[in-house]
Every structure is written in structure tokens, then in C-alpha cells.
Amino acid sequence: MPHANINYPKMIHPFRWARNGQIPDAYFLRQLVTAQNHALAYRRKTFFRWGDFEQRFTGISASTVIWRVRCHTGLAATKIGIIAGMGRSDKGSAGDPIFTFRASKVAGGSDSVQIHAGASLVAPTDVPSEIIWRDATVDVDPDADYELDLTTEDYARPLSVLLYEIANPEVDEATNYYVEAAPTIEQPVYDATHLRILQGMSEMWRRNGRHLLSWGGSGTGTNPTFNSTTWTNVIDGSTSVSASTPGYYFHSDEEGEAKHIRVSDTSASTVNVVLAVHCSVTGSATGEVRLQSTGGTAASITGMGTASAWYTTTTTITTDNLLDKLDLQCRTSNGANTVTLNAVSLYTYLA
């Protein structure tokens, strides 16, 4: 099977190639095929990034989930990869420090991989020569919801973690929506090729959009709690939104980037997203989480209950909100009860 072209495709200008009355141009069709195959093979998502070489992660004895992520794999995805930088054990024990990554499909089935960091009887200093770099993968299905968790045991000490999506670069039309056709001059343009390009680009627009936010938890196994009806910043406990409070940006300095991540085909002003929260609530109260700017609420979820589980809502965020700094906030509906917040994910998706 041929491999998708790894080179980034050029901008395709439709009015240069697609005008009524003009003879179809083979080079235009080849550009479309090349660009679509490239996007499926190489324009993949990053689900989680974390690194802290200064605070020096303290190992935990018991098996403990320290981070969680909920995501949607894109079309043609085959694996999720992990790259982890592991520090020496800080307990001087002769155990087997293990860092486990598991991907559980919401519809059922899971795959996991263990990273063995190695025991040490020497106190760690976390200088570069001590860090053990490991990379591994787990198998996933394309176009599916997944819940990811990262677990440490026996004082394993992750210092840097990256989770990212992988696709097979082999162009095979058994995988949606690769296009095997290699258009040339005087070659017919079949309906099947035309349909595969139009449908494929539309489906990719809906399902392969960016993963926007992963607050995976505190990273210590003990996550923050909230027992107030006042909206509170998850990161620093502040109760107001300002330029100085910690929050998230989903764009670069280029104002137009927010529009490039939209998945709505009806309006350039909104982005279709899933907001997912892992939490539990005591008593009869419900938990509430939102992303808030100084101008208002960008996205929110309510009604989360006692079960320690993922709760999700589908909603939209305006591109104006995506250009703002958004603070992640939480509260309980009843101050007599407590919300334990374990993780929050936000990703673009349109069913």
C-alpha cells in the first residue's frame, strides 16, 4: 500500500480550479486526494500534556489514578501513544515502580500498557541524566469516545507525560476516508471518488477537530473539593475572573485561529464541543463546572451526582469566547455537600 505524503499540503484555491464551464483539471483532483490523505495520516490530536521538573513529583505507594482524560478519537486513528519521562523512586525501596496508561472505550473494551521506571536506592535529584524516557502505545478504534487514565504504584514518579493520537499512514480505502485513486490526465472522475472526498472532508471536519483542554486532576491522587455555592477557580481557589487569575487560552496571537478550529458547517461564529467532567458529589447536591471569561460563561455543565464518573454535555462555544481567557470554575448546588473534582476535558465534536 502507498503511504500518505508526509509533506504539508499547499493551500487549495477553489476559484482557481472549480469554475462552471471549465474542463475538470486532474492536478486539482490530485491536490484534493493528497491533502485528504495527508490530513488523515498526520494531522492528529494531542490529548494530554504535563511536565513538572521543579516541584519534583512525590511517589505514591498504593496504586493510584493521578490523571484522567476523556476524548474522541478521529477517523483513521489506530493507537494512542504515550511518551513519559520517569524520575527515580524517592523512597529507596526495592520495589517495582510502575506507571500504567489505560484507554477504555465508552462503548466497551480497553487496552493498557505499563511503563517500568526501575527501582533506585539513591536519592533522586532529577537531573537530565537520571530521567528514564519511555514511549509506548495502546490500540484504539477510530471515531470513538475514550476515557483515559494514568496510574502510578510503588512510588513511580512521572516527571513529563504526553498522550497523542496515531494513524496508520498506509493509504487503504478499507479505512475511512483514505482515497487510493491517483488522478492523472484523461483519467475518468468516478462518482465514488467524488463522494469519498466530499463525504470524507465533511466527516473529518466533524470528528477530527482539536482536543482543546485537559485538566487531568491534581496529579497527587487527592483532588480538590468544593463545598460552596460560590463559583471557585479550580487552579488557585479565587472566586473572581480577572487578567491575573489562572485560566486557559485556546488560540495563538493570531485572531483568526479560533475560526480554524470550528466544526460547525452552518456558522463561522460557533464551535461544537463536548464538555466532560469526572467528579462525585456528597448528599443530595449536584456539581456544577463552567468555563468563564470576564464577559460571561463560555460553556457549563450541571446536574452531576454522587457516582464518581464522567459526566458530559454537548454544547457550543462562540469564537469570541475562544479568543478570551477562560477560567475553569466549580461549585456545589448546596453548600452543605461537597464536590470532588477529578478531571475536566473539552474537545471539538459534531455528531
3-state secondary structure 94-135: CCCCEEEEEEEECCCCEEEEEEECCCCCCCCCCCHHHCEEEE
Tally DSSP H helices, then E strands, for the chain.
5, 17
The answer to whether 17-193 and 211-348 have equal CATH topology is yes
Domain 17-193 has CATH 2.60.120: yes
340: cell is 470532588
Tell me, what's the pLDDT at 250? Answer: 82
Tell me, what's the pLDDT at 55? Answer: 65
Which CATH architecture is the domain 211-348 placed in?
A: Sandwich (2.60)
Per-residue CA distances from 254 to 43, 291, 323 (Å):
20, 22, 10
- Give the start-to-end residue ranges of the domains of the chain: 17-193, 211-348
Tell me, what's the pLDDT at 123? Answer: 82
DSSP state of 351: -
Annotate 220-260 with DSSP letters as a single string.
SS---EE--SS-EETTT--SS--TTS--B--S-S-TTHHHH
Cβ atoms of 42 and 125 within 8 Å: the answer is: no
Instruction: Give the Cβ contact number of residue 262 at 10 Å.
Output: 23
Cis amide leading into 8 (omega within 30) = no
Strand (E) or helix (H) holding 38 = helix 26-42
Instruction: Give the Cβ contact number of residue 90 at 10 Å.
Output: 17
Distant-in-sequence, close-in-space partners of 128: CB < 8 Å, separation ≥ 6 = none
Q: What is the pLDDT along the chain (351 residues), one digit of tens a residue?
A: 789 999 999 888 877 776 777 777 888 889 999 999 999 999 999 999 998 876 667 888 899 999 999 999 999 999 999 999 999 888 876 688 999 999 999 999 999 999 998 788 888 888 888 899 999 999 999 999 999 999 999 999 999 999 999 999 999 999 999 999 888 887 777 888 889 999 999 999 899 999 999 999 998 889 999 999 999 999 999 999 999 999 998 864 444 444 444 444 444 688 899 999 999 999 988 999 999 999 999 999 999 999 999 999 999 998 888 888 999 999 999 999 999 999 999 999 998
Tell me, what's the pLDDT at 342? Answer: 97
C-alpha–C-alpha distance, residues 32 and 132, integer Å: 42
Q: For 30-66, how does the pLDDT look when each residue is reduced to its tens digit (9 = 90+)?
A: 999 999 999 999 999 999 999 887 666 788 889 999 9
C-alpha–C-alpha distance, residues 31 and 129, integer Å: 46
311: cell is 459526566
Cβ atoms of 225 and 341 within 8 Å: the answer is: yes
Strand order of the sheet with strand 98-105? 64-72, 145-153, 98-105, 110-116
C-alpha–C-alpha distance, residues 300 and 306, integer Å: 19
Phi, psi of 34 (to 5 degrees): -60, -45
Strand (E) or helix (H) holding 196 = helix 191-207
Amino acid at 264: S
- Sequence length of the chain is 351
Q: For 242-279, how does the pLDDT look when each residue is reduced to its tens digit (9 = 90+)?
A: 999 999 988 644 444 444 444 444 446 888 999 999 99
Annotate 161-191 with DSSP letters as a single string.
EEEEEEE--B--TTSTT-------TT----H
For the CA atoms of the chain, what is the radius of gyration? 23
Tell me, what's the pLDDT at 259? Answer: 42
Q: Whole-model pTM?
A: 0.92
